[in-house]
């Protein structure tokens, strides 16, 4: 049962008939989202999988609240044209853009898996850097890119940067031009357990469970074209637009709404 509003409460009912001490009556757990009233026996009588699922529900409830705040706050842009959106901005706040993320540093907190709360054709540019690989592929990616297409005006530009997964693949296959990739990513901050080359490749593709897809140019071009974008081109790193930290092995691609 869900109660909307301040201090969302999720009441989760477990039928714990077979657990000692509960006499077949089951048990209602009150889990206060945002706070942590965790009932002591939870660990004893639940599996890690169930606890992970509960954590996910709590996280999604928080994202839901942030998203609804963002949708409400997006009303201030109603009627405006030539907007520039920075999607999945994280801490990189860009002047002249509406910086959007689930992080509360953003101008708008939105869950980008949901439709964008902007009018069709109101944007001149949509930018994202190291965000698209966090989106489930192909269905959610298609709906996300479809939303980018919808909010752009004719002639508007989408500019996307993702980790270039051709690099680890080529490096692993022994292409001398990419050989330094393993060393570079360890320096960049890959976890200490990434010792073998295959561990590095896996980390690059998955980053725990953060990354949902690994792109090369052909695949990103196809995804953009599938929702209507044209003139899809690889572009060079642009220091005026992109983050210095992302320069190494990022695939930057630009496309236009015809």
**Closest to ligand SAM by CB, 41 or 113:** 113
CB atoms closer than 10 angstroms to residue 36: 8
Determine, following the binding rule CB under 6 A, whether residue 246 of this chain makes contact with ligand SAM: yes
Binding region for ligand SAM (CB under 6 A) out of 52-60, 87-95, 152-160, 214-222: 87-95
* Least distance from ligand SAM to the Cβ atom of residue 4, Å: 20
Strand order in the sheet with 123-129: 108-109, 98-101, 83-87, 123-129, 152-163, 250-256, 230-235
Q: How far is it, in rounded angstroms, from Cα 136 to Cα 110?
A: 17
Burial class (CB in 10 A: 0-12, 13-18, 19+), 235: middle
**Closest to ligand SAM by CB, 112 or 201:** 112
Among 70, 88, 156, 163, binds ligand SAM (CB under 6 A): 88
Determine, following the binding rule CB under 6 A, whether residue 243 of this chain makes contact with ligand SAM: yes
Element (H, E) at 202: helix 197-206
> Interface mask (CB under 6 A) for ligand SAM, residues 133-172, using x and -?
-x--------------------------------------
Q: Pull the structure tokens for residue 113.
A: 């898996």
> Interface mask (CB under 6 A) for ligand SAM, residues 94-133, using x and -?
-------xxx-------xxx---------------xxx--
Q: How far is it, in rounded angstroms, from Cα 253 to Cα 233?
A: 6
Q: Which residues of the shown chain bind ligand SAM in the complex (CB under 6 A)? A: 88-90, 92, 101-103, 111-113, 129-131, 134, 243, 246
């Amino acid at each position: 049962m869900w109660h909307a509003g301040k201090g969302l409460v999720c009441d989760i009912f477990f039928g714990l008939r077979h657990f000692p001490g509960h006499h077949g009556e089951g048990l209602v757990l009150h889990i206060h989202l945002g706070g942590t009233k965790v009932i002591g026996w939870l660990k004893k009588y639940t599996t890690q999988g169930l606890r992970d699922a509960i954590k996910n529900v709590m996280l999604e409830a928080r994202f839901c609240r942030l998203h609804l705040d963002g949708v409400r706050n997006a009303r201030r842009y109603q009627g405006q044209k030539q907007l520039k959106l920075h999607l999945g901005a994280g801490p990189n706040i860009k002047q002249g853009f509406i910086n959007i993320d689930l992080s509360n540093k953003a101008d708008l907190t939105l869950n980008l898996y949901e439709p964008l709360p902007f009018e069709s054709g109101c944007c001149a540019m949509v930018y994202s850097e190291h965000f698209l690989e966090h989106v489930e592929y192909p269905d959610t990616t298609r709906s996300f890119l479809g939303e980018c297409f919808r909010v752009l005006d004719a002639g508007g530009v989408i500019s996307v940067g993702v980790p270039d997964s051709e690099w680890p693949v080529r490096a692993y296959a022994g292409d001398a031009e990419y050989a330094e990739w393993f060393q570079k990513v360890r320096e960049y901050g890959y976890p200490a357990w990434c010792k073998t080359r295959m561990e590095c490749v896996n980390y690059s593709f998955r980053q725990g469970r953060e990354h949902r897809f690994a792109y090369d140019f052909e695949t990103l071009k196809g995804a953009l074209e599938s929702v209507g974008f044209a003139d899809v081109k690889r572009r060079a790193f642009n220091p005026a637009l992109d983050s210095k930290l992302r320069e190494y092995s990022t695939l930057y691609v630009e496309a236009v709404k015809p």
